[in-house]
Amino acid sequence: MPDARIIAAIIAPLLMLAASLPAAGQTPVPTDKDKERLKALRLDHPRLIAFEEDFARVRDMARGDADGQRWMRQLRKEAEDLLDKPPAEHKLVGPRLLGQSRLVLARVYVLALAYRIEGDERFAERARKEMLTAAAFPDWNPSHFLDTAEMTHALAIGYDWLYDYLSTADRAKIVRAIVDLGLKASLPTYQKQNWWATASHNWNQVCNGGMIMGALAVADKHPDIAAYVIGRAVESVPRAMATYAPDGAWPEGPGYWHYATRYTVTLMAGLTSALGTDFGLSEAPGFDKTGLFELCIYGPTGRSFNFADGGDGQSRVPCLFWLARRFDEPVLAWEERRRADAALTPLDFIWFDRRGKGPKAERVPLDVLFKGIGVAVFRGAWEDPDTVFAGFRGGDNKVNHSHLDLGTFVLDALGKRWAVDLGAEEYNLPGYWDRKGPRWEYYRLSTHGHNTITLNGKNQLATAAAPITSFVSRPELAFAVADMTAGYPDIAKSLERGLAMVDRRQVLVQDEIECREPAEALWTMHTDAAIEIRHAHKAVLRIGDLALTARILEPAAARFEQASAEQAAPQKPNKGVSRLHVRLPDKTASTRIAVLFTPGDGDTKAPDVRPLAEWR
């Protein structure tokens, strides 16, 4: 048996080390570097995102030109509509309080800004009621930490922007809630360095962003926990910022680009206003280009190429104003001004930028490859609502929020979307987040539910990626080719898809398939249009009086078929959505499928079909 003195000599240092570490959930002692970050803290309020002089500028804008007056009428109406609504409730939907957190966040921003501009105490009082109700919740649902982060953000902004209106007792209640229900709830994750603290997707920015805003709001009253939280958050955020490299694109799709980038910009703006620096976070590679991704991923219909989870509507993105100023990209300000009338947010007032012309005048490219995420977009022209637009994804099925959609595409023409992406399914369905379980059985997430190829009726491999191997942009021909072979490992020797824009008005989708043995290949496109199959090789899609013609150029034996995409409950019904199929008569070991889309109902000249290897 070992000598007791030897055992004691071994154990004693370990006990001392354990005693020096904070227990999970207890407030740790900030490092000297953590404390140093807080030395420049602006002590007066408001200090988050905007100062009093910023609100004065907004007041001048709201009383000045016609745009400012129109925006102010919108903001005032939104604030007045909230006066008689009951406060949010501690009510979970599935595992989430997120809907209520977002409700509080949106209301506080609107009401607090309306008060700062107009001085109407009805708005401040309604915001106070909202915040005190949330502050009295038993928790902010830290098991789904996005809920906690967004609620912390809400109360931080309200506390800061309404500081002079709130009583001493109100402030104490709100500060206690920010610390106890927000910041302290983050400590186990920061101390263990797990989950969202080490993630590289949207959870990182949203959770860290909410904690940064809460910590900055109360840093003068609770400096130790604020310094510690800000320190850990500033060290964590670069993991997510690396996702913007090399070209600013976001792999979770445009919907989650908005969510992640809105919080990224907010946390940077909060740090800069309160501490005078964002500690270099905005200098991350690719982040200076991320506004271009948001600009280009939308077609002329105003609908995005909404790959992965998310809808295709235009986002409310005041961060485009911030990005325009930070990186001197005035075209982003032009884009946000164009959107703001339909989707105005309070931060549009704060970050407003009058500079910039449209993408046509600013010579933004018609075709853009986002190589980091394997997405290419093509358009016939900028600022023409009827032009042709196509979005094409090689992609990576492993990405957070991804679907099994390697090779999918969307298509706009004549002011309508003809090839659609159905978007996300209901998040609370059983097993939705189980990547090894039923997630891929849901139609919208499966390969069957996308505009791509299935082989033998099987899903693509959930861990596969399809890099874009070639990209060319010329006036008469622009194209991208993706190698999708990895998506079909047991069936395909090789499978490549090319999407080309021909003469800026036709779109060609071409697949080249080599199988290990004969397999059933099925080509699918989803559409809201009515489908009229004229003959085996020609289908006319109609939306009202408008038409788009689809033609099978190869193989000769293929034929168009039509089927419904509607699904039974509890899945979303996809009501009115049809599938246009290209079906081959028999299984095949080798084939090339080429489908050409032309606006209108006619037989215009088709380009020659050449092997993808010869596309130049």
* 329-352 mean pLDDT: 94
Q: Where are the beta strands (DSSP E) in 300-350?
A: none
Q: What is the mean pLDDT of residues 524-546?
A: 97
- Compute CA 132 distance to the chain's CA centroid, rounded to the nearest angstrom: 31
Q: How many helices (H) and strands (E) does the chain have?
A: 16, 17
Range 537-544 contact pairs with CB under 8 angstroms and sequence separation of 24 or more: 539/580, 540/601, 541/418, 541/580, 543/416, 543/418
Write down how long the chain is: 616
Condensed to tens digits (0 to 9), the pLDDT of residues 437-451 reads 899 999 999 999 999
Fold of 368-614: Beta-galactosidase; Chain A, domain 5 (2.70.98)
Residue the block writes with tokens 């016939």: 380
Question: What is the arithmetic mean of pLDDT over 192-210?
Answer: 98
Enter the tokens of residue 338: 């164009």
Lowest-pLDDT range of 21-35, 140-154, 329-343: 21-35
**How much is the average pLDDT of 315-327?**
93
Cα 214 vs. chain centroid, distance in angstroms? Answer: 23
45 has a pLDDT exceeding 90: yes
Q: What is the dihedral of CA 570, 574, 580, 586, to 10 degrees?
A: 0
**Could you read off the pLDDT of 221-234 as tens digits, one per residue?**
999 999 999 999 99
**Has residue 436 got a pLDDT over 90?**
no
Contact criterion met (CB below 8 Å) for 110 and 349: no
Cα separation of 448 and 446, whole Å?
5
- What is the percentage of the chain residues whose pLDDT exceeds 90? 91
Residue 310 pLDDT = 86
DSSP, res 178:
I
DSSP characters over 267-313: HHHHHHHHHS--TTGGGSTTGGGHHHHHHHTB-TTS-B---SSS--S
* Beta strand pairing call for 538-543 and 389-393: unpaired
**Rounded Cα gap, residues 43 and 217, in angstroms:** 10
Long-range Cβ pairs for the range 441-445 (8 Å, 24+): 442/571, 443/565, 443/567, 443/571, 443/574, 444/403, 444/571, 444/572, 444/574, 445/403, 445/404
Mean pLDDT value of segment 304-319: 91
Q: Where are the domains of the chain?
A: 24-351, 368-614
72: left (phi over 0), alpha (psi -120 to 50) or beta: alpha
Instruction: Provide the pLDDT for residue 9.
Output: 40
pLDDT tens-place string over residues 475-489: 999 999 999 999 999
Residues 6+ apart with CB under 8 A from 164: 45
- How confident is the prediction for the chain on average, in pLDDT? 94
pLDDT tens, position by position, 160-174: 999 999 999 999 999
The answer to whether the beta carbons of residues 592 and 512 sit under 8 Å apart is yes
Residue 13 pLDDT exceeds 60: no
Give residue 491's identity as a one-letter amino acid code. I
Mean pLDDT value of segment 185-208: 98
Q: What is the pLDDT of residue 8?
A: 41
Could you report the per-residue pLDDT of 549-579, keeping only the tens digit for each?
Answer: 999 999 999 999 999 999 999 999 999 999 9
User: pTM of the prediction?
Assistant: 0.93
Which fold would CATH assign to domain 24-351?
Answer: Glycosyltransferase (1.50.10)
pLDDT in tens, 248-295: 999 999 999 999 999 999 999 999 999 999 999 999 999 999 999 999
Burial state string for 185-215 with b = 16 or more CB within 10 A and e = fewer than 16: bbbbbbbeeeebbebebbbbbbbbbbbbbbb
Which DSSP category does 222 fall into? Answer: S
Residue type, 127: A
Residue 235 has what pLDDT? 98
pLDDT per position as a tens digit, 50-97: 999 999 999 999 888 888 899 999 999 999 999 999 999 999 999 999
pLDDT band at 603 (very low <50, low <70, confident <90, very high): confident
Q: What is the token pair recorded at 520?
A: 């059933």
Please, which residues bridge with residue 419 across strands? 411
- pLDDT at position 26: 64
C-alpha separations of 300 from 294, 380, 384, 419, 501 in Å: 13, 10, 7, 14, 15
Query: What is the C-alpha to C-alpha distance for residues 418 and 410, in angstroms, rounded to an integer?
Result: 7
pLDDT at 25 over 50: no
pLDDT band per the 50, 70, 90 thresholds, residue 616:
confident
